[in-house]
Amino acid sequence: MSSDLAAYTTNDLLRMIHGGEDLGPDFAYNALWGTVFGRWRKGIDLDSLIELLQSEKSSERQRGAWYLDEASPPKDQIADIVIKLADDPISHCRWRFVAYVTNSGLYSDAIADRLAASLLDLDLYVRAETIFWAVWADDANFDHFVGVVLSGAGTKPYRFRNPQTTAFWRESERKRAARGIEIAQRLRAGESIASIRESVPEEDSYSFDKLAFLDHAIKRALERRAQKANAASGP
């Protein structure tokens, strides 16, 4: 085997990583982070990644979603593929969609609709990641997203025999959506997670646990926006 990993095609490297052959303790790391991810960040050989993301096998889609998050390929070359992860039955793929959108800055009307659904996701990890996205987003995208959520985007088309049951679930989703927006707004305003947790007992504690884990990143988002505002205001 050549020691020059750049001599191998991307498909060959991926096959070697997962082929079961012992190629040394550092091979997978060097092949992925040193070669494959570097190519994908430049938009090279994305067909290999896209094939994983569109696979009928959930294990391959999950692996592709992880690769996507780590490699951060150019958003303009992969947006149409990434958006499909938001509807994946596997929650790992759905939260990786939110993570990629956060890191890449990818945003559009279609993305906003998927993020609205992610805010209402029953998997609390996906919901918490979406609240974090809302904290990280710039003012224009956040304001647009609030309008999308409050318009009812992302809600499920409940249709029960009993109209009262239908009304109950729709109202429950409406409140859950509004609560997610409220948490994001208060975090964007600089309020502590502990303070919000105490005053919003309706929200599952796991959401706040996840946000607390991201506290440093939330503070960086606030600092970034403050610096941008100061630069815009001028001397």
Per residue in 62-77, pLDDT (tens digit) is: 999 999 999 999 999 9
Q: What pLDDT was estimated at residue 1?
A: 47
Average pLDDT value over all residues in the chain: 92
Question: Would the pLDDT of 48 be above 50?
Answer: yes
Compute the distance between CA of residue 4 and CA of residue 18 in angstroms, rounded to an integer: 19
CA 168-171-172 angle, 5° bins: 85
Question: Would the pLDDT of 86 be above 50?
Answer: yes
Q: What pLDDT was estimated at residue 158?
A: 66
Q: Is the model more confident about 197 or about 8?
A: 197
Q: What is the mean pLDDT of residues 5-28?
A: 82
Q: Kindly list the domain boundaries of the chain, sorted by start residue.
A: 1-105, 107-235
Q: What pLDDT was estimated at residue 22?
A: 66
What DSSP assignment string belongs to the chain? --S-GGGS-HHHHHHHHTS-----TTHHHHHIIIIIHHHHHTT-SHHHHHHHHT-SSHHHHHHHHHHHHHH---HHHHHHHHHHHTT-SSHHHHHHHHHHHHHH----HHHHHHHHHHHT-SSHHHHHHHHHHHHHS-HHHHHHHHHHHHTTTT------SSHHHHHHHHHHHHHHHHHHHHHHHHHHTT--HHHHHHH-TTS-HHHHHHHHHTHHHHHHHHHHHHHHHHHHH--
Q: Which of 33-47, 92-106, 221-235 has the lowest mean pLDDT?
A: 221-235
Residue 3: pLDDT band with limits 50, 70, 90: low
pTM: 0.90
Tell me the pLDDT tens digit for each residue of 167-205: 877 888 999 999 999 999 999 999 999 999 999 999 999
* Residue-wise burial string across 141-157, b where 16 or more C-beta atoms lie within 10 A, e elsewhere: bbeebbebbeeebbbee
